[in-house]
Amino acid sequence: MRTFAFALCLVVLAPTGSSVSGQAFSVPVVYRKLPNGLRVVVSENHAAPVVVVEVMYRIGFRIEPRNRTGFAHLFEHLMFQGSEHVGKFEHVRIVNENGGTLNGSTRFDHTNYFEVMPSNALELAMWLEADRMRSLKITPENLKNQQDVVSEEVRVNVLNQPYGAFEWLGLPQKANTNWYNAHNFYGDLSDLQAANLDDVKTFFDTYYAPSNAVLVVSGDTTADEVMKLAEKHFGGIPPRALPPRPDIKEPPQTAEKSFEEGDKLARTPALAFGYHLPDRMTKDFFALTLLDPLLVSDESARLYQALIKENQIASDVSGGFNYGLGNNFDYNGPMLYTFRVDYRPDLKGPDVLKVVDKVINAIQEHGITEEELKQAKVNFRSSFLESLESGGGFGRADLLAALALYDDDPNRINTILGDLDKVTTADVQQAAKKYLVPANRTSIDRRPAGGGQ
Amino acid sequence: MIRDNRRSPIVRSAILAVALVLAATKAGAQTERPAVGPERPFQLAPRVERTLPNGLRVVVTRQTAIPKVSITLTVLSGYSSDPADLTGLASLTADLIQEGTKTRSSRQIRRDAFGMGGSLTAAASQDYTSISTRGLSEFATQLIDLVAEVAMSPTLLEDELAILKQQHLQAVSQQKASPQFLANRTFRGALFGSHPYARTSETEASLKAMDRARLAAFHRDHYRPNNAFLLIVGAIDPDAMIAAAERAFGAWARGDVPSPPFAAPPALSGRKVLFVQRPNSIQSSIALGNIAVKRSDARWYELTLANTVYGGAFNSRIVRNIREEKGYTYSPSSILTGFADAGFYRFAADVRNDVTGATLAEVFKEIDKMRAEGSDGSELQGAKQYLRGIFPIQTATQTGLAGTLNNVYVFGLPKDYPETFRAKISAVTPAQVKGAATTLFGSENSVIAIVGDWAKVKEQLGGFKDITFLDVDGKTIPQPQ
């Protein structure tokens, strides 16, 4: 739980689909906006005396300052370093000592902060979130302390690890061309160290405005209670104008890109490759969402079977949208469909891609069966339900937050499965033909380079 | 180095040592910290328990938060039942049973689970092997049948075994590149000596020595109803589940199951350092600690509280010290682990090379403080409230509840453990916590595993006299240069 981190602590929504019974299950949603622009979502759930309080800000690492790689994530750490009425690390102490857990994480397009608390501590958690939204307070010592902590985080998760997070941190830097999508978002250590209090103030003033955020409360409470408390604690935070959003569009890729990297720490090779995805919530997006479990995200999937069972050239295969950093829904910009294959040391990356292309070509030529599609829909539905429960109910709050922030429609949580249900086998075949092609692909072949032997 | 630049006095003096208040305004600020209301009632649904004539215990509880179900068959044999030269036998057996039964192929098993909204997993751990599936509750009966078929009548195919061995061999090679894996393996090996809990992973040699006959024998000897329990948690009707379990598992035959060869762990004397030389390391990965108690020990509550205060929660002494004050590390933590026959305490962190010695000094300083003073007052109250509060959070989901109940049955905890946990935590006294600290923390008698680059840290470790050097394969080597 102490991963103030990327990816590793997150909710991965696998593929799914509906179409079977049990469909009556729906998530209660109440949605309002305060006069200062803060979005508020409430979802009642009285299964346990537990409540989740989450604030998600629409600022992620994608659009962090150009000379300050890793700054959005460093800033996330600073949000635990004190505000006007809460001292350094007191946020953590107060939450733990009242029976709760907490975390924060930085993603492509947002940063989230949350507490999972006994429901009698609801107002306390809301007060804590409001105080830092209103009055973050950072000293030079605390900034320095977290620069050190984050540098250690980058070392432990990237620089001192075999493979160096190449599939989720490295691949976007190679596949994309627009700086916003293609920089080192965990941060160069020198950039992290260069950050100063002016950077902190500017970033906070620019992006941590109520109109750039959503407050979600889910669990053992009522909409009336939450709305009253939201007014009381967040209503007085003044509105601020938001800057125009930069152009994060990614020009279409027209030719395959392949890279080879030496790895001083790894002992066996691995291949990562990714395809640029269609826009979120489009017809092709839903089709590929259902293809994913049939292609890679399950041990029954075609790639898993082909690489591990039939050809016996790999020891592990995995993949997904927003891989390692989120799920199919919690981003809002150019995104990759990423795969990682740990393969046999006597082979090379192209040997793996040959098998991959054979599997994908078969789908492009013959499509998938009705039975496969039906099963994918059942499985996605099940995974979707699972994701709502993850983290003691955090998954439900986090998805509602993303849907409020990016779609202005948290009720979308109850219609996503319906959209997936409309997908046909022809849609899947069409989307595979259009997107899963070599010209739309970037790969990194990560080879052992001595040191780990 | 980098760190020195950041410590530059020029940088520091350029920023006034006053807080920068990023206040939009104070208008409307709620300055008063809100009080916490009275605790709301927390109650788990009753559990239905039945023992089948063949000895299989079936435990079912209804939890309807989402229309899903968790089904777990736990066989009470794990790594500890591996012969010493066949580490990984339980684990490989668990993998192979999923690769085919008399009526379903490997892929069909996966596909059937997939189509019911789930997946099947089987995995061995120290004391047990779990075969579990999770899917939509409307398929609960078929999912029980699938688990029963895999557990009772796997075909254990040679071809599938060959594929699995290849996968495992590659994983074994990869693990040696992970500093956290090496630190834990080294720590556990030194701590438990010839006790089976010393073995945390298979080796190239043990994998090569395994064949179908050994796996089949393990399956025959250990996968028996009188050595297992079935736990079902979800949006289901308990009576219907019991009936389905009787149908699916009724024909499973009893057997005499051998007990694991438990031996006493070695007695520790002094601070024993095991240094794994990993050239190119830019951090030291540290795992240190000592033998503690088994999971069913009555002192578990007070030990857990002592650990929570020390390093078991984010708000804990070691996190405040070496992360929030000193910035040595991102991820310090300590954990109390209890198995069936013994347990251990372990602190772990990854720290940059130049603070390796300083980190060890702080870790032992905080340990000695806990041993000397224990904890009381608001700190202890906070730790109690933390453990009380997270219990309902952990059991609010089907998977969380299944995990808690699994511990009850694996380790023979009192049946009312979930109902009484919070009251027992509340009843612990400061004197008990202080006593627990001396049990929990070895301090002067500890195992310290460090994975790093000796040349970069050797000058910081002069205070340790008993240092053994190892390579990533675990072989003893001369002191590196």
DSSP string over A78-123: HTTS-BTTB-TTHHHHHHHHTT-EEEEEE-SS-EEEEEEEEGGGHH
Instruction: Choose the closest CB to B30 out of A118, A130, A268.
Output: A130
Asked if A118 lies within 8 A of B283 by C-beta distance, the reply is: no
Please give the backbone phi and psi of residue B349, each rounded to the nearest 5 degrees, phi first: -165, 155
Q: How many residues does chain A have?
A: 453
Assigned superfamily of A7-234:
Metalloenzyme, LuxS/M16 peptidase-like (3.30.830.10)
Q: Taking residues B460-481, report their average pLDDT.
A: 96
Q: Taking CB atoms and an 8 Å cutoff, what residues of chain A touch B24?
A: 134-135, 205, 237-238, 240
What is the percentage of chain A residues whose pLDDT exceeds 90? 92
Digit-coded pLDDT (tens) for B108-132: 999 999 999 999 999 999 999 999 9
Among B10, B30, B320, B352, the strongest candidate for a mutation testing the A interface, having the largest count of A CBs within 10 A, is B30
C-alpha B116, offset from chain centre = 29
Query: Any residues with CB less than 8 A from the CB of B192 and at least 6 apart, and which?
Result: B198, B265, B266, B291, B342, B344
Do the first three CATH levels of A7-234 and A257-448 match, i.e. the same topology?
A: yes
Q: Which residue of A has its CA nearest to B43?
A: A48
pLDDT at B189: 96
Residue A292 above 90 pLDDT?
yes
Residue B31 above 80 pLDDT?
no
A453 — pLDDT class (breaks 50, 70, 90): very low
Residue A37 above 50 pLDDT?
yes
Q: Taking residues A83-99, report their average pLDDT.
A: 97
Asked if A84 lies within 8 A of B397 by C-beta distance, the reply is: no
Q: Taking CB atoms and an 8 Å cutoff, what residues of chain A touch B39?
A: 49, 118, 120
CATH of A257-448 among 3.40.91.50, 3.30.830.10, 3.30.930.10, 3.40.605.10? 3.30.830.10
pLDDT at B481: 86
Strands (E), A220-358: 257-263, 270-276, 314-321, 336-343
Q: List domains and CATH numbers for chain B.
A: 47-249 (3.30.830.10), 271-470 (3.30.830.10)
CA distance B287 to B290: 10
Q: Taking CB atoms and an 8 Å cutoff, what residues of chain B touch A290?
A: none
A23 — pLDDT class (breaks 50, 70, 90): low
Asked if A140 lies within 8 A of B17 by C-beta distance, the reply is: yes
Among B8, B62, B170, B330, the strongest candidate for a mutation testing the A interface, having the largest count of A CBs within 10 A, is B330
CA distance A214 to B43: 32
Asked if A393 lies within 8 A of B397 by C-beta distance, the reply is: yes
CA distance B337 to chain A (A): 17
Asked if A121 lies within 8 A of B36 by C-beta distance, the reply is: yes
Among B110, B139, B393, the strongest candidate for a mutation testing the A interface, having the largest count of A CBs within 10 A, is B393
Calculate the dihedral angle through the C-alpha atoms of A303, A304, A306, A308, rounding to the nearest 10 degrees: 150
Q: Which residue of B has its CA nearest to A159?
A: B282
Q: Which residue of A has its CA nearest to B383?
A: A97
Q: Taking CB atoms and an 8 Å cutoff, what residues of chain A touch B5?
A: 193
Mean pLDDT of chain A: 93
Structural domain spans, chain A = 7-234, 257-448
Alpha helices (runs of H) in A235-269, residue ranges in sequence order: none
Asked if B110 lies within 8 A of A300 by C-beta distance, the reply is: yes
B16 — pLDDT class (breaks 50, 70, 90): very low
Q: What is the pTM of this model?
A: 0.94
Digit-coded pLDDT (tens) for A377-423: 999 999 999 999 998 899 999 999 999 999 999 999 999 999 999 99
CA distance B318 to chain A (A): 13
- Count interface pairs A-B at CB distance under 8 A: 309
Asked if B315 lies within 8 A of A149 by C-beta distance, the reply is: no
pLDDT at B12: 26
Please give the backbone phi and psi of residue A217, each rounded to the nearest 5 degrees, phi first: -125, 125
Asked if A266 lies within 8 A of B390 by C-beta distance, the reply is: no
A13 — pLDDT class (breaks 50, 70, 90): very low
Contact criterion met (CB below 8 Å) for B427 and B92: no
Residue B428 above 70 pLDDT?
yes
Asked if A22 lies within 8 A of B138 by C-beta distance, the reply is: yes
C-alpha B315, offset from chain centre = 20
Phi-psi region of A97 (alpha: psi -120 to 50; beta: other; left: phi over 0): alpha
Asked if B23 lies within 8 A of A135 by C-beta distance, the reply is: yes
Q: Taking residues B25-38, report their average pLDDT.
A: 75
CA distance B72 to B406: 9
pLDDT at A260: 98
Q: Taking residues B331-353, report their average pLDDT.
A: 97
pLDDT at A24: 67
CA distance A439 to chain B (A): 31
Asked if B313 lies within 8 A of A146 by C-beta distance, the reply is: no
Contact criterion met (CB below 8 Å) for A181 and A246: no
Q: Taking CB atoms and an 8 Å cutoff, what residues of chain A touch B111?
A: 300, 375
pLDDT at B280: 86
Residue A14 above 60 pLDDT?
no
B28 — pLDDT class (breaks 50, 70, 90): low
pLDDT at B384: 98
Q: Taking residues A256-280, report their average pLDDT.
A: 97
Q: Taking residues B99-111, report their average pLDDT.
A: 96
Alpha helices (runs of H) in A156-208, residue ranges in sequence order: 171-175, 179-182, 189-194, 197-207
B98 — pLDDT class (breaks 50, 70, 90): very high
Asked if B396 lies within 8 A of A308 by C-beta distance, the reply is: no
Among A211, A347, A382, the strongest candidate for a mutation testing the B interface, having the largest count of B CBs within 10 A, is A382
Digit-coded pLDDT (tens) for A194-223: 999 999 999 999 999 999 999 999 999 999
Mean pLDDT of chain B: 93
End-to-end CA distance of chain B: 22
Asked if B117 lies within 8 A of A293 by C-beta distance, the reply is: no
Asked if A48 lies within 8 A of B329 by C-beta distance, the reply is: no
B32 — pLDDT class (breaks 50, 70, 90): confident
CA distance B398 to B72: 12
A20 — pLDDT class (breaks 50, 70, 90): very low
Asked if A298 lies within 8 A of B114 by C-beta distance, the reply is: yes
CA distance A165 to A169: 5
B261 — pLDDT class (breaks 50, 70, 90): confident
